[in-house]
């Protein structure tokens, strides 16, 4: 069943997670081209986006007119969260997501992200500020709790729903786990039982099989995929096909895959400019090569600073793979 947020239907309910430094506009557009119920921006610091610091504003360049795009905001002050929400809604954002799940120390040390799970009263002040500032649906992404002694996601979700939040996404780990161990999808079921709004399961969903297992264990209304899509922007469409009967994507191979990777590379260079684009592109190129079993070709491609040469090396690597498979 599709997830509904006011007048917006997330169909299929297979969502791309916000990943700092990864889910920028070029990557979101590529994932969306295969099919996704929703793509979520990188976390944007609320005060920075209001004060128009260049990086934050670049991250907010989302293709706002697209219904299947959400802007994720983070912060610790209600005023800046509300102002940021008004800014991105004014730019055309259709959905605003509040980050209360990021485990990074630079975020939690500033009492943002998952640190807010240690003070639900303050967390609710932020939620109230955002919901009260805009007319578009507001969603929440969080974790099971701060640590094993503070598993308060069900309480936070209940209070968030009462404040007007329209959907809750739960990463099946505590903050103190970071990304270690295995996501506890069954624990998400307690959040699902606590609220009436859609609940989305997140964490360690890297294939159609793991997506089905996460849904069965959690009872969630959909799944959110993050690191599993690195180097495989078609994964969300594959999951949607397996779980919800959507058309299966054509997974590019050989020359077609080379065309996709080169196109993504050029999009990153165009979006960021040459100097920053080369740095940003390296991790994506590495993931593509690893997913294709071409790790041996990575050194000159990853370190290359001449785009034309990098493109020639990419095409040669994928052509060599095709010849080896023949």
Contact assessment for residue 209 and residue 176, using Cβ atoms and an 8 Å cutoff: no
**CB neighbours of residue 121 within 10 Å:** 7
Contact assessment for residue 142 and residue 170, using Cβ atoms and an 8 Å cutoff: yes
Burial class (CB in 10 A: 0-12, 13-18, 19+), 167: buried
49: nearest Cα among 128, 165, 130, 111: 130
231: nearest Cα among 296, 301, 299, 284: 284
Residues 6+ positions from 299 with CB-CB distance below 8 Å: none
Contact assessment for residue 99 and residue 63, using Cβ atoms and an 8 Å cutoff: no
Instruction: Give the three-state DSSP class for 143.
Output: strand
Residue 248 is classified by DSSP as: P
For residues 54-93, b (16+ Cβ closer than 10 Å) or e, as one string? eebbebbebeeebebbbbbbbbbbbebbbbbbebbbeeeb
102 annotated active-site: yes
Catalytic residue among 45, 62, 74, 102: 102
Query: What's the alpha-carbon Rg for the chain, to the nearest Å?
Result: 20
Q: Which residues are catalytic?
A: 102
């Amino acid at each position: 069943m599709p997830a509904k947020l006011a007048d917006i239907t997330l169909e299929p309910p297979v969502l791309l997670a916000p990943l700092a430094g990864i889910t920028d506009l070029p990557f979101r557009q590529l994932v969306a081209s295969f099919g996704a119920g929703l793509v979520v921006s990188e976390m944007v610091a609320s005060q920075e986006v209001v004060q128009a610091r260049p990086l934050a504003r670049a991250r907010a360049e989302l293709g706002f007119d697209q219904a299947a795009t959400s802007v994720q905001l983070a912060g610790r002050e209600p005023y800046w969260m509300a102002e940021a929400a008004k800014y991105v809604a004014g730019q055309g954002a259709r959905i605003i997501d509040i980050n209360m799940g990021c485990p990074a120390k630079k975020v939690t040390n500033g009492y943002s992200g998952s640190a807010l799970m240690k003070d639900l009263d303050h967390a609710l002040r932020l939620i109230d500020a955002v919901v009260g500032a805009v007319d578009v649906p507001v969603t929440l992404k969080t974790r099971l709790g701060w640590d094993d002694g503070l598993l308060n996601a069900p309480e936070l979700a209940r209070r968030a729903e009462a404040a007007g939040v329209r959907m809750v996404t739960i990463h099946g780990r505590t903050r103190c786990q970071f990304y270690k161990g295995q996501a506890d999808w069954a624990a998400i079921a307690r959040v699902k039982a606590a609220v009436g709004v859609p609940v989305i399961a997140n964490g360690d969903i890297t294939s159609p099989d793991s997506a089905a297992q996460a849904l069965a264990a959690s009872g969630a209304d959909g799944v959110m995929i993050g690191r599993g899509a690195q180097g495989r922007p078609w994964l969300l469409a594959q999951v949607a096909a397996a779980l919800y009967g959507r058309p299966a994507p054509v997974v590019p191979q050989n020359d077609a895959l080379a065309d996709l990777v080169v196109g993504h590379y050029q999009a990153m260079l165009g979006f960021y400019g040459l100097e920053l684009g080369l740095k940003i592109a390296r991790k994506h190129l590495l993931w593509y090569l690893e997913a294709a079993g071409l790790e041996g070709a990575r050194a000159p491609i990853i370190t290359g600073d001449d785009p034309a040469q990098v493109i020639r090396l990419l095409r040669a690597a994928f052509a060599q793979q095709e010849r080896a498979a023949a």
